[in-house]
Amino acid sequence: MTTAVTGSVAPARRLSSGLRPTAKVLPEHARAHNRSLVLQHLFHGGPTSRADLARATGLTRVTISDLVADLIEEGLVEELGVRPGQRVGKPAILVGMRTTAHQIVSVDLTDDAVLRGAVLTLAGDIVERRQCAVDGRAGDELIELLLRFTRSLLAAASAPVVGVGVGSPGIVDAAGTVLEAPNRRWYNVPLAAHLTGRLGLPVHVANDANIAALGEFTFGAASDTAVLVLTVGEGVGAGIVLDGARVRGHGDAAGELGHVTVVDHGRRCACGRTGCLETVLSVPALRRAIDGLDRQDSDAHLASVGRVLGIALAPVVSALNLAEIVVAGPADLLDGALCEAALDTIRERTMPVIGAGLALRMATLDEDVVLAGAAVLVLSGQLGVS
Amino acid sequence: MTTAVTGSVAPARRLSSGLRPTAKVLPEHARAHNRSLVLQHLFHGGPTSRADLARATGLTRVTISDLVADLIEEGLVEELGVRPGQRVGKPAILVGMRTTAHQIVSVDLTDDAVLRGAVLTLAGDIVERRQCAVDGRAGDELIELLLRFTRSLLAAASAPVVGVGVGSPGIVDAAGTVLEAPNRRWYNVPLAAHLTGRLGLPVHVANDANIAALGEFTFGAASDTAVLVLTVGEGVGAGIVLDGARVRGHGDAAGELGHVTVVDHGRRCACGRTGCLETVLSVPALRRAIDGLDRQDSDAHLASVGRVLGIALAPVVSALNLAEIVVAGPADLLDGALCEAALDTIRERTMPVIGAGLALRMATLDEDVVLAGAAVLVLSGQLGVS
DNA sequence: GGTTGTATGTAAAGGAGCTCTACTAACAAA
DNA sequence: TTTGTTAGTAGAGCTCCTTTACATACAACC
C-alpha cells in the first residue's frame, strides 16, 4: 500500500534557501520584505516603471503601486516623469530611488593611526571625506574620539542621515559588540548599542575585512553566489559572501585568515606564533622583503608569496566552490606576480571544475572598500537593500 | 541640517539572515512558513501542547490551534491525550508529529558496486533496508536499475511515502540534475525530474557527501552554526552547513575536497594529478599503507595523514570559523591517531579563538549517514523540516 | 480622422492570515 | 466553596495581496 500523498502533504514553499524555518512570519513582515524587494530593484536597476517592477518582482501592478506610494511618502523614491522613447500603450512613468535625498555616515577603524570617515549618498558615492588622528588612544578614550568624530561627520551631512556604519578590526558579533580587538584595547564593548544611544540614530558595527567583502559585493563587480574578499593592509583579513549572505562563523570570527600558519618554521608573528600568513603577506612584510631588490627579484619574491597564498586558499576554494576571489590592497604589491602566482597555484591544486570556475581579481574600490562596506551595512540594515 | 529619519524610514524586518531579498512573499508563503515552523518544533522537541508551541514560536494560541488543525487534517500530526503530571490550570493536550504514519524512501549511490536503499520513518528510523548489485552498469542502464530498485523500495513501504531522496556522487545542481558523475557515466542527467516523472512522487537528488552533512546535522549531534562533515570512503568528500543552510557553491561543487593537492610530489591520483587528498586519506589508500605494519607504525602513519588533513583544513576552519568538524568513515582507521593529529594540527595552525572554538569528532550515524541525509532532503523539501 | 490594439496605472471587492479581546473549560490551592 | 491559573476556542478586526474592472494614453492602421 504505497500511496503517494503529494496531494495531501503540501510542498513547503521556502522563503529563503535556508533549511530551518526559525522565526514566525507575519503579514507585516511580508510587506516589509516586498518593500525591500522593490527598493532593491530600483537600487540595482535604476529608474523603472511600476509595470516593469511588477513584472520583475512577480507582484501585481496594484501592489507595486501601493508599495511605491509608501516609498514615495517616506521620501525614498520619486517619480521621474514619463519614460522617453515612443512605444505603444500608455507611456510609463519612471520611478527611481532618491539616492541623494538621504545620506549615510561611514567610519573605518582599520588604520591604527587614523580614523577615516565619510558621508555617502545611498548610491555609495562619497560626498565628504574626513580623517582624524588617533594619537595612540585606545579603550574608552578611543570610543570617545570615535563618538566626536562621528558627530563631526553627521554635522557635515547635507541631507538626513539614515544611519551610521562602522568597520572595526577584531571580532564583532551580530549585535555590533566588539568581542575583542586587542590593538584597540576593546573587549566586549557594545559599540553599536553605545553609539546608537549617544547619537540617537541607528549604528551598525562589523568587522572591517568582513564588510569590505560587502562593499565589493554591492558596489564592485563581484558575483552573486560565492565570493571571498581578501584585504591586505597592516594585517590580513577576509570576508566571505555566499548566496548574498555574509558568513559570520560560529564565534563571529569568520574570515580571520591572517593568522593561519602557512610557512613551517617561518618568522615570528605579532600574535606569538610563527609562520602566520601575515608574516609574509601584510603590506609592511612585503615592503620590507622587496626593499632594495630589482624588479626581477622582487617579482620572484611576490610570486613566492602568491604561491603560499594559493596553497592556503586552495582548500577554501574547493570546500566552498568559490566563484571569485577579490584582493584589496596596494596594487603595486599585489596586482601582478603575486596574484598571478596565487591563481595559478590554486588552479594547480584543485580539481579542474573548481579551478576553472574561479576568477581572481583586484578590488575595484581601493581604499574606500571598508567605507563602502559600512554603507552597505546601513543600507541593508535600515532599508533592506544590498 | 543633520536630521535623523529613524521615524520615517522603517527598519527592515528581515525574514532570513540573507542580505538580498530575492523573491516576493505572499500571505500563503507566510502561512507555509509558519506551518513548517510548528512542524519543526514538533520534530525536534517531541510532543508539545498548543500553548507551548505558541510560546516557542511567538505566534498566538489562536493561530497555533489553526495551524495544528491543518496539520492534523493532513495526517502529519495527532493529538496524544492529556499531558501527564499535575499542574495548575487546565490540563494541556499534547500534540505530536506522526512520524510513522508516513515514510520516506532513500537511496545511496556512493558505492560503485552496490545500490543501498532504505525505507525510513519521518523520524529517520530505518524500517526496511535493501541492496542491489550494480554489476558494472552505468549511464542509462544504471538509471533504469535505480528506477527498478526505487520501485521495489516503494513497494516495501508500509505507509504512504512522502518522497524519495537520492544521494549521488558527483556534482548535482539544485534541481537535482547530475551535472557530472564520471564513474557513473552521467553527464547532465536530470535525475530528479526523470524519477519524479516516472514514479509520480517527489524525488530529491543531491551530492552524497553534501547530504551526509545534512544527515549528521539533523539526526546527529552537530551544532547549528557552522559544521563541516568529511566523508571518507573510496574517495573523500565533504558537506558544509552554515546557519542551517547547506553550502552549494558557485557551480554546485562545494565540498569537493578529495582532489585538493595536499602533498607536493605525491602519488599519482585517479584524476590524473598528483598529491590529492584522496591519495592519502581514502579508505583503500589508508588500508594499503598500514597493511602489515605493527600498531605503533600504523598509528604513526595515520597521524601523519591526520597532520596533512589538518594542514589542508586549517584555512577552511579559519575562513569559516567552524564550530565542528565531523568525520564519517571506518572508525578503526579514522578514530584515534588520525583524528587526534588532525585536530592538534588545526589548533596549532590557527588563531586561539578559532582553534579553541572547534570540535572534531566521529560521525554518529556510520554507514547510514547518506541514507539519513537523503531523508532530510525529503523532509526539508516536502515538509520544510530539518 | 476614427477605430483598433496595447500598455500603464488606479479603484473596489474579496480572500487569506494573523492578532486582540473575550469566553469556556478544567484543574490546584486555600 | 472560592480564588487563581492555564488551555483552548469564537468572533471581530486589521493588514496585505489578488482579481476584476476601468480610465488613460499612445501607435498603427484603414
Which of B6 and B97 is assigned the larger pLDDT? B97
CA distances B278 to B230, B233, B361, Å, are: 12, 9, 20
**pLDDT band at A21, cuts 50/70/90?**
low
Q: DSSP states of A161-215 as a string? A: EEEEEEEESSEE-TTS-EEEEGGGTEEEE-HHHHHHHHHSS-EEEEEHHHHHHHH
B126: which residues sit within 8 A by CB, 6+ positions away?
A: B118, B119, B120, B368, B371
Q: Please give the Cα distance from A65 to A61 (Å, whole number).
A: 6
Judge if the beta carbon of A99 is closer than 7 A to nucleic acid strand C: no
Judge if the beta carbon of B10 is closer than 7 A to nucleic acid strand D: no
CA distances B57 to A29, B34, B91, B374, Å, are: 15, 9, 20, 27
Chain A partners within 8 Å of B21 (Cβ)? 33-34, 36-37, 40, 384
Q: What is the model's pLDDT at position B7?
A: 35
Residue among A320, A350, A377, A383 with most chain B CBs within 10 A, to mutate: A320
* DSSP assignment letter at A368: G
Please tell me the distance in Å from A24's CA to the nearest CA on chain B: 6
- For chain A, say whether B225 makes contact (Cβ under 8 Å): yes
Protein-to-nucleotide distance from the CA of A211 to the C1' of D15, whole angstroms: 36
Q: Please give the Cα distance from B62 to B41 (Å, whole number).
A: 17
- For chain A, say whether B253 makes contact (Cβ under 8 Å): yes
Q: Please give the Cα distance from A55 to A20 (Å, whole number).
A: 30
Residue B60 DSSP SS3: coil
- Give the tens place of pLDDT for each residue, B295-343: 999 999 999 999 999 999 999 999 999 999 999 999 999 999 999 999 9
- Give the tens place of pLDDT for each residue, B210-222: 999 999 999 887 6
Q: Which three cell numbers stand for residue B44?
A: 525536534
Protein-to-nucleotide distance from the CA of B63 to the C1' of C17, whole angstroms: 9
Q: Nearest to residue B103, comparing CAs of B148, B164, B36? A: B164
* B20–A244 C-beta distance less than 8 A: yes
Picking from B19, B76, B160, the nearest residue to A246 by CB comes out as B19
* A33–B5 C-beta distance less than 8 A: no
CA distances A75 to A160, B10, B365, Å, are: 11, 11, 56
Q: What is the model's pLDDT at position B24?
A: 81
Segment A150-178 shows an average pLDDT of 97
Please tell me the distance in Å from A257's CA to the nearest CA on chain B: 6
B25: which residues sit within 8 A by CB, 6+ positions away?
A: A15, A25, A29, A30, A33, A34, B15
Return left, alpha or beta for B152; rule: phi > 0 is left, psi -120 to 50 is alpha, else beta: alpha
Predicted confidence (pLDDT) at residue B18 exceeds the cutoff of 50:
no
Assess contact for B322 and A249: CB atoms under 8 A. Answer: yes
Residue type, position B201, single letter: L
Assess contact for A166 and A195: CB atoms under 8 A. Answer: yes
Assess contact for A91 and A48: CB atoms under 8 A. Answer: no
- Give the tens place of pLDDT for each residue, A321-375: 999 999 999 999 999 999 999 999 999 999 999 999 999 999 988 789 999 999 9
Q: What is the model's pLDDT at position B224?
A: 72
Q: DSSP states of A320-344 as a string? A: HT-SEEEEES-HHHHTTHHHHHHHH
Enclosing H/E stretch for B97:
strand B93-97
* B13–A260 C-beta distance less than 8 A: no
C-alpha B195: how far from its chain's center?
21
A21: which residues sit within 8 A by CB, 6+ positions away?
A: A15, B33, B34, B36, B37, B40, B384
- Give the tens place of pLDDT for each residue, A216-225: 999 887 667 8
Q: In B37-84, where do the E strands start and end?
A: 48-49, 77-82
Segment A256-282 shows an average pLDDT of 94
Judge if the beta carbon of B65 is closer than 7 A to nucleic acid strand D: yes
The sign of the CA dihedral A345, A222, A110, A189 is negative
Residue A105 DSSP SS3: strand
Judge if the beta carbon of B13 is closer than 7 A to nucleic acid strand C: no
Torsion angle defined by CA atoms of residues B285, B289, B294 and B297, in that order, rounded to the nearest 10 degrees: -110
Instruction: State the nearest residue by CA to the C1' of C8.
Output: A90
Which residues of chain B from 129 to 188 reach within 8 Å of chain A, CB to CB? 154-155, 157-162, 171, 180
Which residue(s) pair with A167 in the sheet?
A108, A206
CB-proximal positions of chain C, under 7 Å: 5-12, 15-21, 25-29
Picking from A162, A243, A312, the nearest residue to B315 by CB comes out as A312
Please tell me the distance in Å from B86's CA to the nearest CA on chain A: 31
- Give the tens place of pLDDT for each residue, B62-84: 999 999 999 998 899 999 988 88
* B225–A249 C-beta distance less than 8 A: yes
Q: What is the model's pLDDT at position A13?
A: 40
Judge if the beta carbon of B250 is closer than 7 A to nucleic acid strand D: no
Cβ count within 10 A of residue A61: 14
The sign of the CA dihedral A239, A351, B186, B214 is negative
Segment B80-90 shows an average pLDDT of 82
Longest dimension (CA), chain A: 81
Q: In B125-214, where do the E strands start and end?
A: 126-133, 161-168, 171-172, 178-181, 186-189, 203-207
* A25–B315 C-beta distance less than 8 A: no
Q: Which three cell numbers stand for residue B258?
A: 578529495
Q: Nearest to residue B160, comparing CAs of B206, B106, B204, B201? A: B201
Q: Please give the Cα distance from B95 to B50 (Å, whole number).
A: 7
Q: Which three cell numbers stand for residue A53?
A: 517592477
Instruction: State the nearest residue by CA to the C1' of C10.
Output: A62
Q: DSSP states of B258-308 as a string? A: TTSB-STT--B-TTSSBSBTHHHHSHHHHHHHHTT--HHHHHHHHHHHHHH
Q: Please give the Cα distance from A138 to A184 (Å, whole number).
A: 5
Assess contact for B226 and B17: CB atoms under 8 A. Answer: no
Three-state SS string across B313-364, please? HHHHHHHHCCCEEEEECCHHHHCCHHHHHHHHHHHHHCCHHHHHCCEEEECC
- Give the tens place of pLDDT for each residue, B178-187: 999 999 999 9
Chain A partners within 8 Å of B386 (Cβ)? 19-20
Q: Please give the Cα distance from B312 to A311 (Å, whole number).
A: 9
pLDDT over 90, % of chain A: 82
CA distances B373 to B144, B198, B211, B239, Å, are: 23, 23, 5, 11
Nearest CA in chain B to A247: B320
Assess contact for B35 and B66: CB atoms under 8 A. Answer: no
Chain A 41-60 residues in 7 Å CB range of strand D: 58-60
Please tell me the distance in Å from A255's CA to the nearest CA on chain B: 4
CA distances B300 to A383, B188, B306, B361, Å, are: 57, 43, 10, 20
- Give the tens place of pLDDT for each residue, B31-72: 899 999 999 999 999 999 999 999 999 999 999 999 999 999
